[in-house]
Structure 1
């Protein structure tokens, strides 16, 4: 006990030192209090361009103001600090909701709150600071500067998404989901390509070049026209052989192993699943909703079979336990388990990309023993090894599985290339993040996957947002946050061919690299 208290004091001391470093006057010299507040506000303003606010017009205001402010600072150090402060304002205001997950067990995770509110936004903000420094190389001409800034924005988005830990959250391209026509361009260039488009549009006024500004707007209109033509005669078709029942139990409080709460949650799922149940129904439960551990010998399979309709199936998020084939050690997986009417498990998809500190502790041996993952359970989850689709019937397309935060990775559906999938299923538990903006942001990222890959998406969330999304990213039906209930729907049909983005996945990276190279070469002309 004394050792635990001593370790917590050490952690608290380190956090305090980090705060003092950030607030050290020498670190932000030549920045007045008003300037710091101004930069933080500009960064926070950019958050309003994302869902649920969807104020797209904010982007030119925020980014152009940043570039104008950078002109007033001399020296790379001052520009770097300005970029970091701007980035910190943006990422603090858009990622504050991570803290909510720690409040579920405040006594166990209180010490992590300073890390969430200070360290995580600050580390990601460093990439904005580095972006600002790198962009100065192209500051030999205003047009080159804004083009270079836009290209580097995408490059540093990718770096901050994967370099430290995998977290490609709130990429700038997601802001176009409020513009239905423009968002269709994701089927060509993906979300990273859209980030370039949005950044170029948001900074073009800074160039003060009328011809360039008109050219950018003409490109924007061309992209919007492409989306208009794509949606003009787009109709939704359904596969009517089966009915999907998407169950949203609105479980906002995790059972944390309490038998009474486990029983309560299970009974609620059963009640919602059996109400007016008809045959040929595929019932889908969200991530972490089944409150017990499942395995091949589980007696729960017989019980679950009783709530499956005639000729139907149950697809549920569950903790799946199975022995390792080589070592014999039992491994626990966050999984999607599919059962038929006979209670037989016909498919298990094991989550591959796990949430750092949420589902496992990275570099576990370097952390003290009292550091535990946020999600309930003994020990860390194991990571699945294989991206595989689920085929439950010849009358239905193969299902591409995405558990929770796997839906924010644009490359995962590409990893399924070669497997014929016609539907994406995303089950999630966003209840950790309460009524914050986090669940709304997560929802829009899942919608983007549908557009990128021309594939309908079914999303089932523990407390919202549950939705049916067509291959154009349009919402066909949804259950909002904090609503208990279910959606009955037929399976949206995929009628489009494989998207250009799926076939030529690396195209955005290639043309951004070419543009950057041309800007570097062009610099010689202006020397």
Structure 2
């Protein structure tokens, strides 16, 4: 009975919690129905704030499952690249991921209930605990900061708050606004609506901030739109490579590009400097920054390098934050050292090896140094910064794994948020989309023909655009998440101490 009390609150309350969590997910990109998501979040906080710890845990777990099942529905797509082999795993992936991430909500709700009694202190504890849970989720077990509360404002002017407090901080703001009508029904509702309106007006004005003069260089984004099921087919490798070469040398739309950029692992061959494919890339008349697999001995890296005349391989960057179980097996190298188990060891050629240093790559006159991010490295706000500030961000990715409905749009929105947080322009090149050039306030920059520099899902082609200028470092770029962490811990401690003081005789 004890376990059932923790895990099953009853059919009606469970259905309500699951439904509220799912409606909160409608605030995420690409749904963008914040007008429903925020009242649903208010309702969910109301539901959780009345319960004792065991029941709050169960309800929050189920609400989290509803939220993440809808927000992260793209997780099934990798299993349908080869459906006859892996398709059976898709339902298990959705359930395990949804309830696994729901545990963060459940732990936060149970902690708030254990520390405080129902009332305003409980609401304070619940808001701070849920915001802390999102911050924790972005770091533990290598981190997965996707579909956060702070991502609800994305694709609205309110996303400019990211320049002040970052994505996690926006989550705390969203939770606080949803809790205000519960703490003070009349004044809190008016205050929340007024705050939302003020942020939208301020965010709209900030979108037009004038950045520093652009450095003058023009980049060419090459989007080959290679279907994932054919990407590593050896029979298609030559056609894939020839297509990339063809797009790279297509007549420019305006100014001649200074650099062509290919997406993550675009080159379907292993490369040797001055030979074969590298030589062909070096004969195109302009430098090419391309994602490729760098191999030394038994080890391989997911990398980006600058290819120049004569097939030279210049500065490069190796992906540091690898996808666990996708690009490497956690503790695989340790198992090899301790037990001689080769099957999971990156040093034995099973998976990628992580890069060691987040160094800048200098792309030459007119472009300058950039912080390179490969695939989902762009979802981690704390890993974008470097000791020397770059002039721009470059993300190369292959989002063909994510399908075409939700995942690629969310990934693009998170990359734009990094541009806002850092006050830096972003160049994003994806295999199947979305490729774009983004200003330092997260807006689409114009291409050389004067239209938005963006290629959508499934489009094949190129975009030429001048690299936009940067802004001075915003507050979040200077401070990071430490002030938020301290504030949340202080808020939770205050609620707990006040609640304890109120119980004294």
What TM-score, normalized by structure 2, do the two folds share? 0.88
Equivalent position of 1:16 in the other structure: none
1:260-303 deviation per Cα after TM superposition (whole angstroms, max 9, x unaligned): 21112112111211110575531101112211122446432111
Does the CA-based 8 Å contact 1:56-1:175 persist in structure 2?
Answer: yes
Residue in 2 that maps onto 1:3: none
Matches of 1:68 and 1:153 in 2, distance apart? 14
Mark the CA change 1:522 to 1:332 in structure 2 (over 3 Å): closer, same or farther: same
Shift in CA distance, 473/501, structure 1 to aligned 2, threshold 3 Å:
same
What is the aligned partner in structure 2 of residue 173 from structure 1?
150
Give the structure 2 partner of residue 258 of structure 1.
Answer: 233
After superposition, the Cα gap between the structure-2 partners of 1:68 and 1:513, relative to the gap in structure 1 and judged at 3 Å, is: closer
138 and 237 in structure 1: CA distance in 2 versus 1, 3 angstrom threshold: farther
Deviations 1:134-158 (A, max 9, x none): 1224644633332322211111112
The answer to whether the Cα contact below 8 Å between 1:252 and 1:432 also exists between their aligned partners in 2 is: no
Provide the residue aligned with 1:273 in structure 2: 248
- 1:483 pairs, out of 459, 468, 472, with 459
Residue among 405, 421, 424 paired with 1:436: 405
Taking the TM superposition and a 5 Å limit, the aligned residue runs for 1:88-237 are 88-110=65-87, 112-137=89-114, 139-140=116-117, 142-180=119-157, 182-234=158-210, 237=213
Q: What pairs with 1:225-374 in structure 2 (closer than 5 Å)? A: 225-234=201-210, 237-240=213-216, 242-255=217-230, 257-277=232-252, 279-296=256-273, 298-307=275-284, 309=285, 312-322=286-296, 329-364=297-332, 365=335
Question: Matched residues in 1 for 2:8 and 2:153: separation?
Answer: 37
Q: Is the 8 A contact 1:295 1:321 kept in 2?
A: no
Question: Equivalences for 1:417-436 in 2 at 5 Å?
Answer: 418-436=387-405
The 1:258/1:232 distance shift into structure 2, 3 A limit, reads closer
| Cross-structure match for 1:520 | 496
Shift of 1:175: 1.6
Segments of 5+ residues of structure 1 without an aligned counterpart are 1-23, 323-328
CA–CA separation in structure 2 for the residues paired with 1:45 and 1:298:
55
**Equivalent pair of 2:6/2:54 in contact (CA under 8 Å):** no
Could you tell me how far apart the structure 1 residues matched to 2:439 and 2:208 are? 15
Q: Match of 2:14?
A: 36
CA contact (8 A) 2:320 2:354 kept: yes
Q: Deviations over 1:426-458 (max 9, x none)?
A: 011000122131111111000000000000001
| Distance in 1 of aligned mates of 2:298 and 2:193 | 58
Aligned length: 486
Could you tell me whether the CA contact under 8 Å between 1:185 and 1:226 is conserved in 2? no
- Structure 1 residues 209 and 137: alpha-carbon distance in aligned structure 2, compared to 1, 3 A threshold: farther
Partners of 1:340 and 1:28 in 2: CA distance? 59
Give the structure 2 partner of residue 453 of structure 1.
422
- Name the residue aligned to 1:406: 377
Task: Tell whether the 8 Å contact from 1:320 to 1:332 is kept in structure 2 after alignment.
Answer: yes
Partner deviation per Cα, 1:68-124 (whole Å, 9 max, x = no partner): 333665x42222111111111111112221221122233543464344122222111
Alpha-carbon separation, structure 2, partners of 1:363 and 1:156: 25
| Cα RMSD (Å) | 2.9
> Could you tell me how far apart the structure 1 residues matched to 2:224 and 2:193 are?
45
Give the SS at the match of 2:394. Answer: strand
Whole-angstrom CA distance in 2 between matches of 1:249 and 1:164: 33
For residues 522 and 453 of structure 1, the distance between their equivalents in structure 2, rounded to whole angstroms, comes to 37
TM-superposed CA distance for 1:65, in Å, is 1.9
Residues 35 and 213 of structure 1: is their aligned pair in 2 closer, same or farther, counting only changes over 3 Å?
Answer: closer
Q: Secondary structure at the match of 2:236?
A: helix
- State the shift of 1:378 in Å: 6.0
- Shift of residue 232, structure 1, vs aligned partner: 4.9
Superposed displacement of residue 208, structure 1: 3.6
